[in-house]
Structures are given as structure tokens and as C-alpha cells.
Amino acid sequence: METKNVSKCSWAAAFAVASVWFGTHVGGGFATGNQVIQYFAQYGWTAAIFPIIAMGILAMVMYVVMSFAKLKGFDNYKDTFAALYPNPKMEILFEIFYIVIILAAVASAVAGAGEVMANFLGIEYVGLAKFLCNIAIVGVLVLLSVFGIKLVMAASTVLSVAILAITACVIFSGLTADMDAITAQYLTANNIEPIAYTSNAFGSIWSGIIVYAAFQCVSIAPMIAASNELSMKGIKRSVILGWVMNGGALAASGYMLSKWYPVLKALQVAGVTGFTNALGIPNQTILNLVGVRTILVLFSLLLFCAFVSTCVTLVYTMVQRFQGVCMPNVIKSEKVRSAVVGFVVICICFALSLLGLSNIIKYAYGYDGYYAIFAVILPVLVWGIPKVRALKGAQKEANTEAKVGNLVADN
């Protein structure tokens, strides 16, 4: 019994659960650098600090929800939030947030893969080129959804590890490159000046800490399921490790990109050939500037595969979630219902993808983040914390009574 208890709270078990949060968070938006630019790097030096604070807030919220689920015996977000809100029907609030963020994630993955393709082919990702690239991605998505879902899901873990490794190489390359010489070369050749950081103290705090932490609440759902076997001590350890892993990676990327932001912004604003969308996938742009061709090719290939994998996996998730309620009395075949749901999801995501990766991350993620502040974070703090305290108190009292009962029985 003691061995089982240790395994449920060991640092190894906690690390495995923390890795679920890390894998959910550090996806395509992080790997491209776009998400980091939008919410942190454009504001300057705070990009190395605010990510740690944002992930700290998320860690606190996550700890409350995971503890509540554990104490109540739940292993899914639906039951957890139905019990956490004052009224079970309010669970729809989290459901709306979760569905919107998943649709936005698929759309950003389509747009990101299309942009990677365009950049690699050396064409501008605008107008007809954007439409055709995104259509091509949707075509690949449909084929894989029909014929290769098992292959994609089996390869997703390997792809995640690979993209994280190559992103670490990008960050290292960006930090160790002779940035002054490269910057001078491109700025002088194009007769332009570096552009200053966005000067907005309130905006940097609101966007980089509050909103970012809010839309990253999407990680709560998989963490509830992943932590089902952990003890309360194990949950605390997993959240601490998750905070260190996510906050550290985000801060490192933010610091590197903040150093390059003035020149990337200048190249984009000036419309320099080859850099008209320098901030679209800034990590790819930096590799171009640094001239590390091998890493650039590998990064582009892995990022493309990761985006496609994300699309297929999330579309499959949405199909599994909604095919059962898609007119079951009218459409008897489960395969037909799945196809209908998949088609609708893909159409919605394709339409959203035409907004472009930057706009999806800025507006879709951002506005869903605003919503999550009131629909997820505040309810967890207002109702979740007192409920967790009450459940812990009841559990402690029950344990004390049990010990007393055992002592009486022994005597």
C-alpha cells in the first residue's frame, strides 16, 4: 500500500502529468513565435518576466480545479465544472470557452501550416496564395482525417518532442547569433531604422499576464484527466513542475524574441522583399536572418507536420464530442454523423484560417481569453477555493474519526 501511495505522489509521476500541460501549451503558437510576439515580446524586457507570472496564475487556477476534481472523484472537465459552478447548467460556460479555443487552434494550425508552406516556397502569404495554401492544407487534413487518423495520433507525441527540441535550437540560435552585425547589415541595406517596442504598461500587463493565462485555461481539461491517479501531494507537485516548465520555456522564448523584435518589425513595416510578414512566423524569419539553413529546413518541416497533426487530432476530438448529438434520430449511421460534424468543423476552421495566424492568435485567442476571465478564472477563485477547503476539511475530519475508531477497536 505504501509503494502505491509513493508512486501517486512521486516527482516522476508528477512530471508525467506536468508534461501533459507542457505539451498542450507549447504547441504551434509557441513554436512559431507568433503567440510570444503578440503577448510578450513586443513590449520589451517584460517578456522575460511576465510569462512566469502568467503561468503562476494559471498554475494556481489549475491546482484548485484539479484538487476539486480529485476530492470529488471526477476524471473529466464536464463533471468537474458542473459541480464547481453554483448551478450544474452553468457548465456550458466552460464548454463554450473550450469549443471556441479548439476551433481557433485548428484554424491557426491551418493558417500556420499554409504560411510555413508559402515561406518555404518563397511566395508571399497574401490574397490568392493564402487561399490556395490553406485549401491545400485542408485537402491534406481531410485525407489524413479519413485514412490516417491512427498514424497521426501515434506520431503526435514524437512530433511534439521533436518540435520542442528544434524550437530550443531556434531559441539558442537567436540568442547566440551576432545580432548587432546582422541587424546593421539588413537595416543599412534597406535604409531603415529599428522600430521601438510597444510602450503600453497596462497593455503589457493585461495582455501578457491576465489574458494569456486566461485562454491557456484550455490546458485544464486534459490535466484533470491526466491527474486522476495522482494523490493530492502529487497534484501539487505536478502543478509546480508545470509552472517551472511552461514559465521557463515561455520566458526564454520571450527574451530571445524581444531582442529581435525591433528589427523584425522594421523589416515588416518597410515591406522589405522576403520580410513583408516577418512577424507571421518570427522564429522562421530569425533562422533566415541568422542563415542556419539546416535548422531552418528541419524547423519548417517539423512545424508543418506539427500543425497538420494538431488539425487532425483536434478535428477528431470535436467529431467524437458532437457526432452523438448530431441528429441521431435522423442520421442513424455513426460514420455519416462523424463525416457531417467533421465537414462542418473543417469549413468553419478554413473560413477562420483566412484571417491569418496573427489575427487568429490576437483576436480569437484574445477575446476567448477575455471570456475565460469571467467564465473560468473568477468562478474557480470565488467558488472553487471555498469548496476545496470545505472538502479538505471534511476529508480530514473523516480521517480523524476513522483513526479514533481504529484505536477504540484495538483497545
The vertex-353 CA angle with 348 and 355, nearest 5°, equals 115
pLDDT for 171 beyond 60: yes
- Model confidence at 6, in pLDDT bands (50, 70, 90)? very low
Residue 206's CB is within 10 A of a number of other CB atoms, namely 14
Q: What mean pLDDT is predicted for residues 72-85? A: 92
Least confident interval from 8-12, 78-82, 150-154, 246-250? 150-154
Q: What is the mean pLDDT of the chain?
A: 85
Q: What mean pLDDT is predicted for residues 36-56? A: 95
Residue 199 makes CB contacts below 8 A (sequence gap 6+) with none
The pLDDT of residue 90 is: 94
Residue 275 and residue 143: Cα distance in Å, rounded? 32
Place of cell 491569418: 356
How many C-alpha atoms does 319 have within 13 Å on its Cβ side?
23
The pLDDT of residue 409 is: 62
The pLDDT of residue 4 is: 44
Residue 173 and residue 151: Cα distance in Å, rounded? 32
The pLDDT of residue 157 is: 65
pLDDT for 114 beyond 80: yes
Residue 156 and residue 153: Cα distance in Å, rounded? 5
Higher pLDDT, 218 or 5: 218
From 377, 41, 56, select the one nearest 246 (Cα to Cα): 56
DSSP secondary structure code for residue 111 in this structure? H
pLDDT for 3 beyond 60: no
DSSP secondary structure code for residue 239 in this structure? H
Instruction: Give percent of the chain above pLDDT 70.
Output: 89
Residue 90's CB is within 10 A of a number of other CB atoms, namely 16
How many helices (H) and strands (E) in the chain?
Answer: 21, 0
State the pTM of this model.
Answer: 0.86
Burial letters for 195-205: b for 16+ Cβ neighbours within 10 Å, e otherwise?
Answer: bebeeeeeebb
Residue 351 and residue 224: Cα distance in Å, rounded? 32
Residue 43 and residue 207: Cα distance in Å, rounded? 10
- Model confidence at 72, in pLDDT bands (50, 70, 90)? very high
Asked if residue 262 lies in contact with residue 37, where contact means CB atoms within 8 angstroms, the answer is no
For residue 312, give the C-alpha cell: 487532425
pLDDT for 398 beyond 60: yes
The pLDDT of residue 51 is: 95
Q: What mean pLDDT is predicted for residues 350-376? A: 91
The pLDDT of residue 62 is: 95
Residue 114's CB is within 10 A of a number of other CB atoms, namely 27
104 by Cβ neighbours in 10 Å (0-12 / 13-18 / 19+) ranks as buried
